[in-house]
Structure 1
Amino acid sequence: MSSNPYYGQEGHGPYETIRIGNLELEEGGHIPDCALAVATHGTLNAAKDNAILVTTWYSGTSKIMEQVYIGKGRALDPAKYFIIVVNQIGNGLSTSPNNSVGAQAGPTFPKVRIGDDVRAQHKLLTEKYGLKSLALVVGGSMGAQQTYEWAVRYPDFVKRAAPIAGTAKNTEHDFVFAETLSEAITSDPGFNGGKYGSPADVAAGLKRHAKLWTVMGWSTDFFREGRHKALGFDSMQAFVDTFMTGYFAPMDPNDLLAMAWKWQRGDVSRNTGGDLASALGRIKAKTYVMPISHDMFFPPSDCEVEQRLIPGSQFRPLKSSCGHLGLFGVDPELLAQLDANLNELLAAPVN
């Protein structure tokens, strides 16, 4: 199965491909020569204490993190920090179904969990950059799942944590949401059990997938307020056809399914025999939990239940009628709130 040109340097670079060797997987099996696509911004200081890890979300790559969250004068300022954005396994840039060969190509790609990503990232950060700590781990959605996993699994390594619009343990409700996203793809006859020739063969399934994201990713208020029109789309249909479908259409379906499987099973309590309170109680990082007010995937109420289990943490919901996909950066007010919280968090003393 050939690599999809969508996932190249032209659209998503610059990034460096760093091989970390064999990665044993929680579900069994291994990735023999695991490659992580990494984008860095800024310079690591002599003390090696100014490193920030940014994790990626479902369908996202390091490029959108750079465009929306990183920049001069922002909280994530390359003039102050060494910012490392690691693409999650399965996202098309790091080792994924679309770029694997042989027994791990396409639909036979092994099951990867959030914990596998975080162990791979830890190996990268310690061996490639010689890090002993991170000033901050931050990510949205599936990036928040990775952020929580980092803080629970490596409590002395992570000094500050900022999970945005995501949970430490996925809810049963959200598991079913993600299931419908996957079924939208797999129910397309062109999917052919994952043995399609190109994403174009699965165009109908990817469009259904995009429609579900339109319904759940943006809030009802977003459309009632006409915010899609403010973005330049004269109708809901145009928004679905041009923006949402255009976003997902070139993506590899097997990559999306690999990430969705991982998302559904995100659960830090796997570290403590299923005890969520015990897992979150391990966290030593100064933690700001930041759900988005109108999020229908990860509503603030789900996030607050977990936040109360994290010692010394703060609940900092971000107000935006965009809902979950406010993560895309279309709401300047949301980004201003986020930067204010991150600036405050980064200024906070830690052990």
Structure 2
Amino acid sequence: MNTYYTQENHGPFQLIDIGRLELEEGGVLPHCELAVATHGQLNAAKDNAILVPTWYSGTSKIMEQVYIGPGRALDPTKYFIVVVNQIGNGLSVSPHNTTGDQGGPNFPKVRIGDDVRAQHRLLTEHFGIRRLALVVGGSMGAQQTYEWAVRYPDMVERAAPIAGTACNTEHDFLFAETLVEAITTDPGFQEGRYQSPADVAAGLKRHAKLWTVMGWSTEFFRCGRHRVLGFESVQAFVDGFMTGYFGPMDPNNLLCMAWKWQRGDISRHTDGDKAAALGRIRARTYVMPIATDMFFPPSDCQAEQQLIPNSAFRPIDSLDGHLALFGTDADAIGQIDVHLKALLAEPAPDLG
């Protein structure tokens, strides 16, 4: 058992089995168990629900710590906030916590669409929710947000994809491929049949280094932001912060999420026609890239935003790159909060 993925580290969350989930790639999860954290109360009309999907490597805990709280846009005194850990993240059903024939490297391929269908079943069948006031997520959470708005346009009133795209670019696919190869080329990986993450320590450290290069920004280092976070040198930052973060994680879990991330693409719903897919969105949508993001640069996000009806472009100014999502830049989180409050204040569209 990997003690990283525990209630002590990431709770509180509830494990909810939504039953058998047939996957888009042809596999099956016989018991799709989702780790779910809720904040606030669902009102009698069941119209105050907000869905927050998680990003690559992240869990519901960071969403609670950075984005949710009284007086915030995601205010549990007003809304029923449901944070669903994506399949493969280590808390929900994942390679490392699956036994038998599907465990470890044999875990089936999962797509963003599988996550969203699982979440839809959870919300409608377990909670009885038929309308979402908002779907909001960062990075892979943004990919899921787009998938929600395209796949279930009659259910999503507002959507806020942050630092992510609806269709992953070839450039970003290659970025993620280097992250994958950092892990899989470690001899200790043994084609996914390692005994513990410690066996793949060198690969996980290379993975962390690549995230340091691409997840932050050149401006982040030029301005000495790593020192503001308490690290005297970049090497200390890599060792203490980045490797400290990724080192305990299960490599097969990371690979499961990376495969999904690389293939995030809402145009699969419309035979490759991105404009047609984004044109399906009926939610009021704020597209919020981070100015210095090298994974999902603002230009990629704006090109998609211009294809979405009833949408607005709301970039976030920050030196911290993609990983400003971690909450390292209080001003960036403040900007996100302002935009989400404005979006929630807009009247809900008539979804019929």
Give the TM-score band, short-chain normalised: over 0.9
Measure how far apart 1:72 and its partner are: 1.0
Measure how far apart 1:272 and its partner are: 1.0
Partner of 1:119: 117
Partner of 1:242: 240
Partner of 1:105: 103
Q: Distance in 2 between matches of 1:169 and 1:319?
A: 23
Q: Distance in 2 between matches of 1:232 and 1:320?
A: 18
Among candidates 90, 110, 117, match of residue 88 of structure 2: 90
Measure how far apart 1:29 and its partner are: 1.5
Q: Distance in 2 between matches of 1:151 and 1:113?
A: 16
Residue 84 of structure 1 aligns to a residue in which SS? Answer: strand
1:32-47 correspondence runs (5 A): 32-47=30-45
Q: Distance in 1 between matches of 2:95 and 2:221?
A: 35
1:111-190 correspondence runs (5 A): 111-190=109-188
Q: Distance in 1 between matches of 2:54 and 2:242?
A: 19
1:199-278 correspondence runs (5 A): 199-278=197-276
Are residues 1:341 and 2:342 paired? no
Partner of 2:278: 280
Measure how far apart 1:136 and its partner are: 0.1
Measure how far apart 1:312 and its partner are: 1.4
**What letter corresponds to residue 132 of structure 1 in structure 2?**
R
Q: Distance in 2 between matches of 1:94 and 1:58?
A: 13
Measure how far apart 1:89 and its partner are: 0.1
Residue 257 of structure 1 aligns to a residue in which SS? Answer: helix
The superposition leaves residues 7-46 of structure 1 with CA deviations (integer Å, 9 ceiling, x where unpaired) of 0100000000000000000000110000000000000000
Measure how far apart 1:102 and its partner are: 0.7
Measure how far apart 1:342 and its partner are: 0.3
The superposition leaves residues 81-134 of structure 1 with CA deviations (integer Å, 9 ceiling, x where unpaired) of 000000000000000000001111000000000000000000000001100110
Measure how far apart 1:147 and its partner are: 0.1
**What letter corresponds to residue 282 of structure 2 in structure 1?**
K
Partner of 1:76: 74
Measure how far apart 1:142 and its partner are: 0.1
Count of residues paired in the alignment = 349
Q: Distance in 2 between matches of 1:248 and 1:66?
A: 20
Q: Distance in 1 between matches of 2:344 and 2:154?
A: 17
Partner of 2:13: 15
Measure how far apart 1:262 and its partner are: 0.3
Partner of 2:189: 191
Are residues 1:324 and 2:322 paired? yes
Partner of 1:48: 46
Q: Distance in 1 between matches of 2:161 and 2:345?
A: 17
**What letter corresponds to residue 146 of structure 2 in structure 1?**
Y
Q: Distance in 1 between matches of 2:224 and 2:90?
A: 33
**What letter corresponds to residue 192 of structure 1 in structure 2?**
Q
TM-score normalised by structure 2 residue count = 0.99
Residue 15 of structure 2 aligns to a residue in which SS? Answer: strand
Q: Where does the alignment leave 5 or more consecutive residues of structure 1 unmatched?
A: none
TM-score normalised by structure 1 residue count = 0.99
**Where in structure 1 do 4 or more consecutive aligned residues deviate above 4 Å?**
none
**What letter corresponds to residue 88 of structure 2 in structure 1?**
G
Q: Distance in 2 between matches of 1:114 and 1:322?
A: 26
The superposition leaves residues 192-246 of structure 1 with CA deviations (integer Å, 9 ceiling, x where unpaired) of 0000000000000000000000000000000110111011000000000000000
Among candidates 283, 295, 298, match of residue 300 of structure 1: 298
Q: Distance in 1 between matches of 2:51 and 2:27?
A: 27
Partner of 1:290: 288
The superposition leaves residues 34-74 of structure 1 with CA deviations (integer Å, 9 ceiling, x where unpaired) of 00000000000001000000010000000000000001111
* Identity score, percent: 76
CA-based RMSD: 0.4
Q: Distance in 2 between matches of 1:235 and 1:33?
A: 46
Q: Distance in 2 between matches of 1:330 and 1:152?
A: 31
